[in-house]
Amino acid sequence: MAMSLSNKLCYYTLAIIMLLGLHLRLQAVRQTVVDTPIRADARGYVFYAINLNVFHAYSRSPDAIEGKTATPQPDAVCNPAYPLFLTLFFGDNFSEKTILLITLAQALLSTLTIGFVYMASTAIIPRSYALLSALFTALSPHLVTANVYLLTESLFCFLLILFLWLLSRWRTSPSNALLLGTGAVLALATLTRPWTQYFIIPLMLLVATSPHIVRPKRCVALLGLGFFVLMGLWAGRNLSTLGSISDNTLMISTLHSGIYPGMMYENRPETLGYPYRFDPRVPEIVASMHSVSMEIFRRFREQPMEYFQWYILGKPVMLFSWNIYEGPGDVFIYPVLYTPYADSMLFHATHEIMRTLHEWLVALAALGCLIAWLPGARLGMGDGQLFFMHSISSLFAYFVLIHSIGAPFARYSIPMQPVVYVLALFSIWQMARLSHYVLISAKKFISTLGFPT
């Protein structure tokens, strides 16, 4: 069984872990040299932010950068939270100093995430295990390196863990502010990365059926209000500006990117990560949601075993790959010209520790996702703890399902790493409990036979 730790010792230990995490993140931001940081998705986010500042228009058009004065055509390809976050740091011009300020802010948010991981996980696992979940979050090279890019990972991870922490604070009768805040933070996370948009449905079902919650209809209503008001503002903007509540371009692209087994075109290694760049039929496939859906059905019909294996097993494995295979490899999303992971002993040691543990932690998290649904009495958990455990388990399963339907890019799993760590340590704790009770039962049985124990 886990050794009990005093509150004071726990907080001292957490402070040390957070300082270590902050040191790694600040050094990564200061020392890492990204090769062309404004590229691909980062380029689009920067254009959105510049156009918001210059034209007050939400568009990823490069017109402002090119000096054009006409207001660019609005769009809704990307959700708005991260570009809005970037505008906080944009003055009259965009420079290297701007990038530094953004990445430093992301490093601070990432450090705060460590503390929220600990506070959320204490609701379901002992404090010593919760400290380990915080330590893994602090050391994760993926979470450390994500801060050096102008990408959504750091902000989304912070909002996702903040949402879970708020959810962990629910008691039998959560306050109106807590209910509205939980829904609102989930909406902010969704407006940063859209895959969480439908998680509100299973969450509402969990709330409605949880025996520990008094007046569940009220809780569902206020949780939904907090979520749908913010999401409604975005949908209303799109409807008034574009004539539809969303742009399905990203959805079509995501479904299309995931139709290639092994994320390769015709199993050619040189196409790994970007198979669609080599497929001559791409314009035909992505013409509409109907055309991409028909292509998926056609492939399942012609090669059912290969595609069932790819969608059920292959995609989850690639989703949780240590290597960011769609990038330069290892923990890097975009290529770097220099990184402290190359020659710093501390960075190298933490990298190797987490790389060695990675596959084990993912496997244990998958096991924890299943264990969570055992009866509460067997898990040693009350109804309130069980509700939060079911919520985390559902979030993990939902994440895997959504990305098994779409594109299983390894980058997408980076913000979910703290959830992986909490579920993995929940598994270890439950196995430790089981072994403890088995040992006690064995001793009792031996003593009944008259043997010394």
Q: Over the stretch 275-294, which tens digit does the pLDDT of each residue have? A: 999 999 999 999 999 999 99
Which run of H or of E encompasses 336? Answer: strand 336-338
Tokens at 342, concatenated: 């190359």
- Count of domains observed in the chain: 1
Give the span between the Cα atoms of 47 and 350, in whole angstroms.
35
Bridge partners, residue 250, by sequence: none
* Residue range 28-49: mean pLDDT, rounded: 96
Instruction: Classify residue 67: in a domain, yes or no.
Output: yes
Instruction: Indicate the helix (H) or strand (E) that contains 49.
Output: helix 40-55
pLDDT at 91 over 80: no
pLDDT band at 68 (very low <50, low <70, confident <90, very high): confident
- Is 80 exceeded by the pLDDT of residue 443? no
pLDDT score of 28: 98
**Average pLDDT of the chain, as a whole number:** 93
Which of 42-56, 78-92, 240-254 is the least confident region? 240-254
* pLDDT score for 120: 98
Which structural domain, as residue segments, surrounds residue 305?
7-448
Q: What is the mean pLDDT of residues 397-407?
A: 97
Q: How confident is the model at residue 63 (pLDDT cuts 50, 70, 90)?
A: confident
Q: Are 398 and 217 in contact (CB under 8 A)?
A: no
In a domain? residue 1: no
pLDDT tens for residues 234-276?
A: 999 999 998 888 878 888 999 999 999 999 999 999 999 999 9
Dihedral over alpha carbons 145, 151, 152, 158 (to 10 degrees)? 30
Residue 216 is assigned to a structural domain of this protein: yes
DSSP 3-state assignment of 34?
strand
- In order, the DSSP letters of 279-294 are -TTHHHHTT-HHHHHH
CA-nearest of 226, 134, 203, 68 to 417 is 134
pLDDT band at 1 (very low <50, low <70, confident <90, very high): very low
CA distance 438 to 440: 5
Per-residue confidence (pLDDT) for residue 2, from 0 to 100? 43
- pLDDT for the residue 245: 86
pLDDT for 247:
78
In a domain, 43, yes or no: yes
411, pLDDT greater than 60? yes
Across residues 93-108, what is the average pLDDT? 94
Element counts in the chain: helices (H) and strands (E): 19, 2
Cα 451 versus chain centre, distance: 53
> What confidence score (pLDDT) does residue 70 get?
79
Question: In the structure encoding, which two tokens stand for residue 109, read together?
Answer: 């948010």
Residue 442: per-residue pLDDT: 62
The lowest-confidence range among 226-235, 376-385, 386-395 is: 376-385
> CA gyration radius for the chain?
23
Residue 389's nearest CA partner among 162, 183, 181, 206 is 206
Would you say 172 and 212 are in contact if contact means Cβ atoms under 8 Å apart?
yes
Among the listed ranges 4-8, 61-65, 132-136, 411-415, which one has the minimum average pLDDT value? 4-8
Asked if the structure places residue 61 within a domain, the reply is: yes
In a domain, 453, yes or no: no
- Residue 376's Cβ-count burial label (10 Å; 0-12, 13-18, 19+) is middle
- Please indicate, yes or no, if residue 375 is contained in any of the structural domains: yes
Band (97; pLDDT cuts 50, 70, 90): very high
Please write the tens of the pLDDT for every residue from 101-113.
999 999 999 999 9
Confidence of residue 3 (pLDDT cuts 50, 70, 90): very low
Q: What angle do CA 83, 89, 91 make, to 5 degrees?
A: 110
**Range 220-248 burial, b when 16+ CB lie within 10 A, else e:** bebbbbbbeebbeebeeebeeeeeeebee
Task: Report the pLDDT averaged over residues 363-379.
Answer: 94
How large a percentage of the chain has pLDDT more than 70?
Answer: 94
**Confidence class of residue 350 from pLDDT cuts 50, 70 and 90?**
very high
pLDDT at 45: 96
More confident residue, 355 or 67: 355
| Residue 51 domain-assigned (yes or no) | yes
> What percent of the chain has pLDDT above 90?
84
Mean pLDDT of 303-319: 96
Please give the average per-residue pLDDT across 331-337, as a whole number. 97
Among 49-63, 72-86, 122-136, whose mean pLDDT is lowest?
Answer: 49-63
Helix axes 96-121, 153-168, angle to 10 degrees: 20
Both tokens of 210, joined, read 């949880």
